[in-house]
């Protein structure tokens, strides 16, 4: 089968912007996108830059954008892509600077992994006592939720909608890694609390918009967004409720519990408190919403049957683990 491959090319030494080049290749059944790219490099254009190593979906180095979605080239079937899209387009990962063609600069990715302290730490009073930090009261009691399966491919970061607008966001891979250490029972409570205190800051756990793209593209089923939700729950359970994100969640839940519905008119007060200066900053948004009829009466009575919703909240507090 002779197929066309559209590959994004960029050479920083001669190009001011990227361009797409077309290559034709005869491919057999079972050919992966990585196989095809290696052949294009060997048979058509030796200057094509790409990164790969294991060719077995283990090392994470061949992640790229294939037909608009982040995938590992070594486990993506050319035939399936062709059948689904009628073409095979290949581009470097988004949200990371391109070095050349399909290779991206992973420095910021690794920096963010380092920033979440991806190792067991001691409580301050145990500093210098690695024996205490490492001892596990019950080795079988730690649940890492498949986070250990991460191969650091950065596909989730490339797909992340927050990364697109905020490069400072810690990101799905790093936060999933943080969750792995938070779940580790060998780390003392004080150290976990310190972890959460750092993670709840700006660009941390509350910046995620829960778009789910990181879950969809992850080749190892790590489910980073679920890890972020676990981190948020842990932060709230630890009493870390002062940040805007935490106040948004708790205020939202409180309004629904009391009135049976969300009241957008009261949310600024829940998030910002009675801080006139800060409330003034959201006034233009509030006025724009009011003009479009999006601001309900702040003094509206609870909806009929709100007592039953309060019962649901009460039941969820009695059985926090129930689905
Ligand atoms: S769910 Fe959160 S972390 Fe995952 S891609 Fe969306 S914004 Fe990024
Ligand atoms: S969480 Fe998944 S997508 Fe993100 S770096 Fe790890 S393996 Fe890749
Ligand atoms: S080459 Fe290692 S994951 Fe694809």
Domain match, 200 and 249 both: no
Domain match, 80 and 177 both: no
Which CATH number is 162's domain given?
Answer: 1.10.1060.10
What number is the average pLDDT over the span 174-186?
92
Domain match, 129 and 157 both: yes
Question: What is the pLDDT, as a whole number, of residue 123?
Answer: 61
pLDDT band at 124 (very low <50, low <70, confident <90, very high): low
The ligand 2 site (C-beta within 6 Å) comprises 60, 150-156, 172-173, 176, 218-220, 222, 224
What number is the average pLDDT over the span 276-284?
89
CA nearest 254: which of 302, 210, 286, 208? 302
Ligand 3: nearest atom to the Cα of 153? 3
DSSP conformation letters of 252-287? HHHHHHHHSS--GGGHHHHHH-S-HHHHHHTHHHHH
Question: What is the pLDDT, as a whole number, of residue 1?
Answer: 84
- How far are the Cα atoms of 33, 159, 171 from residue 195, in angstroms, in the given order? 40, 26, 16
Domain match, 127 and 226 both: yes
pTM, full prediction = 0.87
Give residue-wise pLDDT tens across range 31-43: 999 999 999 999 9
Domain endpoint, select from 184, 209, 237: 237
Give residue-wise pLDDT tens across range 12-33: 999 999 999 999 999 998 999 9
Take atom 2 of ligand 1 and give the residue whose Cα is closest.
Answer: 208
What number is the average pLDDT over the span 255-268?
91
d(CA 160, CA 61): 18
Classified as helix, coil or strand, 227 is: helix
Greater model confidence, 90 or 263: 90
**What is the CA(300)–ligand 2 centre distance, in A?**
45
Domain endpoint, select from 220, 237, 254: 237
What number is the average pLDDT over the span 205-223?
97
| HSE-up of residue 73 (Cα within 13 Å, Cβ side) | 26
Take atom 3 of ligand 1 and give the residue whose Cα is closest.
Answer: 172
Give the domain extent around 96: 2-104
Greater model confidence, 106 or 146: 106
Ligand 3: nearest atom to the Cα of 52? 1
What number is the average pLDDT over the span 230-238?
95
Domain endpoint, select from 237, 254, 283: 237
Q: Which ligand is nearest to the CA of 59?
A: 3
Residue 197 has pLDDT above 80, yes or no: yes
In a domain, 124, yes or no: yes
Take atom 2 of ligand 2 and give the residue whose Cα is closest.
Answer: 218
**What is the CA(112)–ligand 1 centre distance, in A?**
15
Take atom 1 of ligand 3 and give the residue whose Cα is closest.
Answer: 55
Domain match, 230 and 252 both: no
Q: How many structural domains is the chain composed of?
A: 3
pLDDT band at 323 (very low <50, low <70, confident <90, very high): very low
Domain match, 182 and 126 both: yes
Other CB atoms within 10 A of residue 75 CB: 15
Residue 54 has pLDDT above 60, yes or no: yes
In a domain, 216, yes or no: yes
Classified as helix, coil or strand, 291 is: helix
The ligand 1 site (C-beta within 6 Å) comprises 159-162, 172, 208-214, 224-225, 228
Q: Which ligand is nearest to the CA of 56?
A: 3
Residues 111, 177 contacting (CB under 8 angstroms): no
Domain match, 138 and 94 both: no
Question: What is the pLDDT, as a whole number, of residue 179?
Answer: 94
pLDDT band at 318 (very low <50, low <70, confident <90, very high): confident
CB of 303 within 6 A of ligand 3: the answer is no
Take atom 7 of ligand 2 and give the residue whose Cα is closest.
Answer: 150
Range scoring the smallest mean pLDDT among 28-32, 54-58, 102-106, 313-317: 313-317
Question: What is the pLDDT, as a whole number, of residue 316?
Answer: 86
In a domain, 264, yes or no: yes
Domain match, 99 and 111 both: no
**What is the CA(163)–ligand 1 centre distance, in A?**
8
- Percentage, residues of the chain above pLDDT 90: 72
Question: What is the pLDDT, as a whole number, of residue 136?
Answer: 57
Domain match, 217 and 270 both: no
Domain match, 188 and 119 both: yes
Which CATH number is 24's domain given?
Answer: 3.10.20.30
pLDDT band at 122 (very low <50, low <70, confident <90, very high): confident
Residue 112 has pLDDT above 70, yes or no: yes
In a domain, 323, yes or no: no
Domain match, 113 and 210 both: yes
Greater model confidence, 173 or 296: 173
Helices (H), 101-223: 107-115, 130-134, 155-159, 161-165, 172-182, 189-199, 213-217
Residue 63 has pLDDT above 60, yes or no: yes
> Which neighbouring-strand residues pair with 247?
none
Whole-number CA gyration radius for the chain: 24
Q: Are strands 103-104 and 19-26 parallel, antiparallel or unpaired?
A: unpaired
- Percentage, residues of the chain above pLDDT 70: 92
Q: Which ligand is nearest to the CA of 176?
A: 2
**What is the CA(142)–ligand 2 centre distance, in A?**
21
Other CB atoms within 10 A of residue 33 CB: 25
What number is the average pLDDT over the span 241-247?
92
Per-residue burial over 80-102, b = 16 or more CB atoms within 10 Å of its CB, e = otherwise:
ebbeeeeebbbbbbbbbebbbbb
DSSP 119: S
In a domain, 189, yes or no: yes
Domain match, 100 and 113 both: no
């Amino acid at each position: 089968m002779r197929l066309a491959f559209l590959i994004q090319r960029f050479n920083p030494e001669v190009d001011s912007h990227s361009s797409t080049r077309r290559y034709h290749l005869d491919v057999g059944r079972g050919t992966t996108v990585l196989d095809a790219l290696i052949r294009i490099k060997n048979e058509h254009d030796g200057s094509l830059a790409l990164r790969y190593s294991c060719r077995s979906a283990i090392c994470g180095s061949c992640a790229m954008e294939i037909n608009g979605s982040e995938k590992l080239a070594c486990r993506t079937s050319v035939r399936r892509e062709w059948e689904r899209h009628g073409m095979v387009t290949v581009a470097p990962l988004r949200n990371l600077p391109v070095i050349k063609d399909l290779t991206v600069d992973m420095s910021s990715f690794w920096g963010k992994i380092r920033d979440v302290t991806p190792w067991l730490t001691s409580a301050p009073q145990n500093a210098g006592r690695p024996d205490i930090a490492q001892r596990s009261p019950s080795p079988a009691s730690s649940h890492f939720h498949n986070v250990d399966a991460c191969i650091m491919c950065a596909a989730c970061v490339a797909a992340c909608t927050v990364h697109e607008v905020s490069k400072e966001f810690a990101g799905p891979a790093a936060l999933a890694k943080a969750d792995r250490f938070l779940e580790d029972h060998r780390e003392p409570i004080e150290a976990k609390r310190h972890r959460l205190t750092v993670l709840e800051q700006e660009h941390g756990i509350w910046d995620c918009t829960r778009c789910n793209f990181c879950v969809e593209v992850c080749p190892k089923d790590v489910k980073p967004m679920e890890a972020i939700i676990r981190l948020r729950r842990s932060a709230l359970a630890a009493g870390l409720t002062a940040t805007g994100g935490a106040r948004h969640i708790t205020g939202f839940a409180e309004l629904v519990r009391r009135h049976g519905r969300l009241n957008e008119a009261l949310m600024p007060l829940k998030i910002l408190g009675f801080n006139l200066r800060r409330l003034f900053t959201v006034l233009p948004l509030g006025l724009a919403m009011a003009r479009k009829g999006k601001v309900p009466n702040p003094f509206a009575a609870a909806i009929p049957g709100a007592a039953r919703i309060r019962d649901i909240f009460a039941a969820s507090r009695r059985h926090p683990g129930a689905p």
